[in-house]
Copies of this chain bind each other. A is one copy, B any other.
Amino acid sequence: MAEETALPRAERRRRTEARILDAARSLFADMGYERATIRAVAKAAGVDPALVMQYFGSKQELFQRAVEVTPAPGGRSGGGQVGGPDPGGAQAAVEEVVERLLGTLPMKLGELSQSRLAMLRSMLTHPEAAVSARRALGEQIDRVAQTLPAEDARLRAALMTLVLLGVTVGHQLLELDELRDVPEEEIARLLRPSLRALTGQDPR
């Protein structure tokens, strides 16, 4: 019935591992670390639970592999470095960091955002996920803080990052009715002045 086209061994292994990782990401993102069982991941991947262990060692390692950020497959990345405070074009740089922050909102439920959702879903209840979350948020705070000229740049950057965290949690994880079916541009439009106010560079 199912036509398995007899793939070479290495390829078959790669695909199975990817299928397990996808299933793991999906389940971790939906139910969190504790409720997503190895058995459920295996069933979703059409595989024996023991195989998951054999490939990934432990549930914890599977989680880390499922959550780790893939280094930008296809999109622009890395080059976005702004290069320190720029007293001349500070105004423009601040605008840009606001836009970049707002850009982290969508991710449209794409492949690599699944791993982000998996991390966010478990960050409050699973210690290792909390470590990952603190690291990821810390990096974003660093990036934002670099662009802010104010004295309390890190605090402001943290608050800006947490604003977006709160909206993402309410939207993607709690799925509040108030945000359902609201286009991301609308959310970004309403959030923009709010984030600008947090930069301390707001030209009133």
Report A's interface with B, CB cutoff 8 A: 31-35, 120-125, 130, 133-134, 137-138, 141, 152, 154-159, 161-167, 169-171, 173-174, 176-179, 182, 186-187, 190-191, 193-198, 202, 204
Contacts and interface: CB of A to CB of B under 8 A. Distances in A.
Contacts of A167: 159, 162-163, 166
A170 B130 CA distance: 11
A115 to B, nearest CB: 16
B170 A162 contact: yes
B194 A182 contact: no
B170 A155 contact: no
Nearest to A145: B178
Q: How many copies of this chain sit in the oligomeric assembly? A: 2
Given A125-B35, A162-B167, A170-B162, A134 B198 contact: no
A122 B35 CA distance: 12
A197 B193 contact: yes
Q: Which 9 residue pairs across A and B have the least CB separation, nearest first? A: A166-B166, A32-B125, A158-B178, A193-B197, A162-B166, A34-B34, A162-B170, A165-B166, A194-B197
Contact of A164 (B134, B166, B179, B196): B166
17 contacts: A34-B125, A122-B125, A125-B125, A137-B170, A137-B176, A138-B176, A138-B178, A152-B190, A158-B170, A158-B176, A162-B169, A163-B167, A169-B169, A191-B198, A193-B197, A194-B194, A194-B197
A169 B161 CA distance: 12
A157 B179 CA distance: 11
A198 B194 contact: yes
A177 B142 CA distance: 12
A125 to B, nearest CB: 4
B190 A198 contact: yes
Given A123-B174, A193-B198, A194-B198, 18 more contacts: A32-B125, A33-B125, A35-B125, A121-B125, A124-B124, A130-B174, A134-B176, A138-B176, A152-B190, A157-B178, A158-B170, A161-B170, A162-B167, A165-B166, A166-B167, A191-B198, A194-B197, A196-B197
